[in-house]
Structure 1
Amino acid sequence: MSALLFAVHIVYVSKFSGTNDVLVLTVMQFFIGGACGVACGACFETLPPAWALTPEFFWNMAYLVIFASCVALVIQKVALAHVPPAQASLFLSLESVFGVLFGVLLYGEQVGLKLIVGFVLIFGAILVSEMFPLKRKDVATNQLEAVPVELP
């Protein structure tokens, strides 16, 4: 389900970024996502204890919201506006590959069989789709080929 919604997201960003300001789209996405997050949090989560709401917590949250979310998503949206949706989805699917790579290199995450198989499948799919793109014939070309030409 998340892969389907992710693909829909990429297609709509590509579609609307050509006619709308990317920054406005990103701000709208944050407000809608934030409203949905607050609504779900209010329904399903408990409030944190007051002692957990320290200045350090708010600085950490500000950093995550501003740099890891807002700035990163604006840069991503600007880049996606200049790339076809199919290539954008391929590039963005590398996020998990780099997440695993940095997890192993920086945090000593253990490499298991599932991790290796997932890495190979994702990376292999990207290589295949980039090296062997599907060739489409133009509809007009197909129609011209189908019409016999009679010479007098």
Structure 2
Amino acid sequence: MTRIQANLFLLFSGAVWGAGFVAQSTAMDAIGPLWFIGLRFVIATVVAAPLALWETRKARGPMPKSSIRNFIWIGLALFAGATTQQVGLLTTSVTNSGFLTGLYVVFVPMLTVIFLRRKPHWVIWPAAFMATLGIFLLSGGELARLTSGDVLTIVCAMFWAIQLMLVGIFAGSTGRPMALSMTQFAVCAVLGCTAGALFEPLDLTAVANALPEILYAGFFSSGIGFICQVVGQRYTTAPQAAIFLSSEALFAALFGVLLLGETITPLGYVGCAIIFAAMLIVEIIPELMKAKAVAAGA
């Protein structure tokens, strides 16, 4: 897979996550956040299981136990991010949540430098700033006074950044993206359902009322979206992946207009253009510099 194809996978993940943001918001009218997380990831695990089985049959040898342990760590980061985001939506606006979640585009290169001692391509820093600015403008260009939900969503962005960084490390080194996906989904399913059983009442009526949202979030947002993320990240860097995945804010706004009748302000359209420009410079500038270096060495 080429880097361009990998980035298209990541862009597709951003699209299905953006639509999933609508499902996450409306599902809370019927079901608690923990049960929603648990049930959506049960479905995601079922989606990933046959792909992981097929991958195992094609593998040349068994997967090391250390890889399974690493996959579980990724699952814990994913569960922490999903939980803080979903619970945060109880006490913050969709506008604030969309912007604050997108802060992972800044956190990823920071964590990469601090913990991995890897210096991202210089273009990542202006692109991360552009994407953050674009998300801010897309959210309306203003934030209300921070609530507990806002704080949880900032924490969520940090956990998303950790998950992105860990996927970048282990997805390529193990060569088992489907096993990684299934394992992280199973961790979230077990923890979500367990926490839901302990802290949230549940009845079949609530599940039935939230079923369309659970099915979309489970099959598309979790199953397909995160699988595409894991596959795409095998062929690109975590900071670059964060830029493309940040397009979820753009798609969330688009689907909000189409499905919920929301409107995008003129400032929001400027934000869309800035996010798109950030993705373009991340893709184009490294290729131009590579071509220039090859020409100079010829």
Q: TM-score, normalised by structure 2?
A: 0.39
Indicate which of 101, 126, 132 corresponds to 2:110.
101
SS of 2:16's equivalent?
helix
Following superposition, the deviation at residue 115 of structure 1 comes to 0.6
Q: Does structure 1 residue 23 correspond to structure 2 residue 63?
A: no
What is the total number of aligned residue pairs between the two structures? 132
Tell me what 1:144 maps to: none
Q: Which amino acid aligns with 2:99?
A: L
Corresponding residue for residue 41 of structure 1? 52
* Alpha-carbon distance, 1:25 to partner: 0.6
Q: Distance in 1 between matches of 2:71 and 2:115?
A: 22
- Structure number with greater Rg is 1
Instruction: Report the 3-state secondary structure (helix = DSSP H, G, I; strand = E; otherwise coil) of the residue aligned with 1:34.
Output: helix
Q: Which residue of 2 aligns with 1:12?
A: 23
Residue in structure 1 matched with residue 81 of structure 2 by the alignment: 72
- Mapping of 1:81-120 within 5 angstroms? 81-120=90-129
After superposing the two structures, state which structure 1 stretch, 40-49 or 87-96, moved more.
Answer: 40-49
Q: Distance in 1 between matches of 2:112 and 2:124?
A: 11
**Structure whose residues are more often helix by fraction:** 2
Q: Distance in 2 between matches of 1:78 and 1:131?
A: 22
Question: For each residue in 1:59-88, what CA deviation from the matched residue of structure 2 results, as whole angstroms up to 9, or x when unmatched?
Answer: 4444443x2233432222111232222322
- Structure 1 spans left out of the alignment, 5+ residues: 136-152
Does the C-alpha gap of structure 1 residues 32 and 126 become closer, same or farther in structure 2, counting only changes over 3 Å?
A: same
Do 1:10 and 1:88's aligned partners in 2 also have CA atoms closer than 8 Å? no
Contact 2:99 2:135 in 1 (8 A): yes
Residues 8, 117 of structure 1: alpha-carbon distance in 2 compared, 3 angstrom cutoff: same
CA drift of 1:58 comes to: 4.5
Sort the Cα spacing of 1:64 and 1:126 in 2 relative to 1 into closer, same or farther, 3 A.
Answer: closer
Match of 2:46, SS? helix
> What is the SS of the residue equivalent to 1:82?
coil
Q: Distance in 2 between matches of 1:131 and 1:9?
A: 20
Cα distance, 1:121–1:77 mapped onto 2, change above 3 Å: same
